[in-house]
Chain A
Amino acid sequence: MSIEWLPFLASLSTLALIYGLLALGLNLHYGYTGLLNFGHVAFFAAGAFASALATLPPPGSPEYIAIGGKYTIGLGLPFLVGMGMAALAGGLLAFLIGLTSIRLTSHYLAIATFAMAEIFQAFLSNEEWLTRGVYGINVVPQPLKGTLVPVEQYTYFYLILTAAVVAVLLIFAQLLTESPFGRVLRGIREDELAARTLGKDTPRAKLIAFVLGGALAGIAGSLWTHSIGAVHVGQFVPIVTFQVWLAMLIGGAGNNVGVILGAFVLMLIREGTRFVSNIPGLDRFAASNPTFVPSLRFVLIGLLIVIVVRFFPNGLLPERRRRASRSRGGRP
């Protein structure tokens, strides 16, 4: 193993953790509450742009000029504040989308969330004053890079940072889903009408779950944009949403640790396709068509979605049985 592998693995792991966090949010929507959210990428985008714009140096400032900035909005706030605003952006967008669609049944909820994500993307694409449209912003600040953390070590630093954030949020998610609130959500997933006749305010619970999942995706957006130092509306396309779905399904919907594991498996599979261009026979194809390998990757993603849903619907880590003795103080 030569030395270049290490930074590659590190950044791959960071990406896996970010997808894992996205999956954690989607797990809250679908795994626990049964909501078919086909627009998850929108919350990712909201968080990424919010964090980027919050942390970029203000236009006109010395830093702005030094980095050759062309964007129009920058608040120059610290990274953690940016992350907070990312959570708020994701949560707020989820609130707005949720208000309109939370009472829709499965098919229609899937279509509505998908459509609203597309509307949001069209909005981001066209409002250049906000996002610099097709050009994007590639001077997004990366916290502590070059100052406290040497540039060469930055990939490893960022991995640790991401791991810490995801770990905290995983614990938070786990506490939430193992609580009575999580139980309410699961009942909604099983049979919403029954849940209502047992006295639970299900529309409210669904909206809360939707907002929290959106906030988690927003934080993932913040981690993403600062990891690469750029944000561009073209990154936030539906295939991102469905790769998150795949990660969740592979890992096991309804299991928080499982979905993060699923994200790592997804990354492994994706990177595996890199070596296809080395297969004799296919390498000529790959050379003549630059989109060959990426497209093959997406064919594989599509195929995996079909296969996992049909043959491995429970994923790698199934949902745990919650036994009665736990709450009586006994061992599970």
Chain B
Amino acid sequence: MSAILHVHHLSKHFGGVAAVDDCTFDVQEGTITGLIGPNGAGKTTTFNLITGVLKPDQGEIYFRDRLITGLSPDRIARLGLVRTFQIPRVFARMTVWENLMYAAPHHPGERVWKAPFKPLWIAHEKGYAEKAHAILEFLGLAHLTDEYAGTLSGGQRKLLELGRVLMMDPQVILLDEPMAGVNPTLRRTIIERIHELNEQGITFLIVEHDMEMIMSVSDEIVVMHYGHVLAAGKPEEVRRNPLVLEAYLGGAVI
């Protein structure tokens, strides 16, 4: 297995404070890798740097050995590296179905020259519609197909975000706190879906505060603290690492 994602000496400062400080780690292809650390450790900022939402002050990011630092977020997404947000960013005044269709890649109907001429893109649209419906079934959201995304609960929005990125046939999915604010039943659903998708070959990098969940789900763990990597390895190793225990102040949770 090779490193599908390689973060190399990444740094980002905000007005004198180093949010991310000389951060280096790998994500192996086909794994579920957990990214944990106390609040303010720089996890979401790292996500933003990897996905092109922010530009790093220093360092590089490699996706499949290809340098992606400085590329625009849409470019990176089209390469197969996608993400969800801590607080879901669904399109509130569009339906659940439209939210999914939005993410359909390389849709000829999105080219302004072709858009007014339905026959030029209707076949693609129907194909994507089938795919969208399949994904909604897979995620258990089919009954909400025509509902405005703004009416969904927090947990449902998280699933919707996952559904959207799945439309893009991604290779790597970055999940930012998929469990936060989600009720226990939906949590189980989300975890099961992550496993199933992982078995189909999708690599996951998950930021999560729910220790029990992340430790049991992940193949690998990366621990961040004050913007840099404190430890990395299998969950059992990281669990016993004295630096990590110290960082978590007694580590009652682990």
Contacts and interface: CB of A to CB of B under 8 A. Distances in A.
Contacts of B130: 328
Interface string B86-117: 00011111110110011111010111100111
Nearest to B91: A190
Given A180-B110, A322-B98, A324-B145, A194 B77 contact: no
Interface in A310-325: 319, 321-324
Contacts of B132: 324
B20 to A, nearest CB: 19
A321 B146 contact: yes
A190 B93 contact: yes
A197 B93 contact: no
A324 B95 contact: yes
Nearest to B170: A199
A180 B107 contact: yes
B118 A175 contact: yes
A142 B129 CA distance: 50
Contact of B118 (A179, A190, A197): A179
B74 interface: yes
A193 B90 CA distance: 11
Nearest to A326: B129
A176 B103 contact: no
B53 A197 contact: yes
A182 interface: yes
B148 interface: yes
Contacts of A200: 74, 102, 110
Contact of A324 (B83, B109, B129): B129
Nearest to B106: A199
Contacts of A329: 126
A199 B105 contact: yes
B165 interface: yes
A187 B149 CA distance: 12
B129 A328 contact: yes
A208 B46 CA distance: 32
B168 A198 contact: yes
User: At the interface, is chain A mostly helix, strand, loop or mixed?
Assistant: helix
Contact of B72 (A181, A196, A208): A196
Given A176-B112, A183-B102, A324-B129, A196 B121 contact: no
Contact of B115 (A176, A191, A328): A176
B129 to A, nearest CB: 5
B133 interface: yes
A196 B73 contact: yes
Contacts of B64: none
Interface in A161-220: 172, 175-176, 179-184, 186-187, 190-191, 193-202, 208, 212
A105 interface: no
A187 B110 contact: no
B51 to A, nearest CB: 6
A176 B116 CA distance: 5
Contacts of A147: none
A327 interface: yes
B91 to A, nearest CB: 4
B228 interface: no
A322 B92 CA distance: 13
Contact of B168 (A179, A199, A201): A199
Contact of B121 (A180, A186, A187, A190): A180
Contacts of A327: 101, 122, 125-126, 129
B115 A180 contact: yes
Contacts of A196: 53, 72-74, 77
Given A183-B102, A321-B148, A322-B95, A191 B89 contact: yes
Given A176-B115, A190-B94, A199 B85 contact: no
Contact of A181 (B85, B111, B122): B111
A193 B146 contact: no
A197 B91 CA distance: 13
Contact of B102 (A176, A187, A212): A187
A96 B84 CA distance: 35
A270 to B, nearest CB: 31
B224 interface: no
Given A179-B110, A181-B115, A327-B126, 7 more contacts: A175-B117, A183-B102, A191-B90, A193-B89, A202-B74, A324-B146, A327-B129
25 contacts: A179-B109, A179-B115, A180-B104, A180-B121, A181-B109, A182-B115, A183-B110, A186-B91, A187-B94, A193-B89, A194-B89, A198-B74, A198-B102, A198-B103, A198-B164, A198-B165, A199-B74, A202-B74, A323-B95, A324-B129, A327-B101, A327-B126, A327-B129, A328-B126, A329-B126
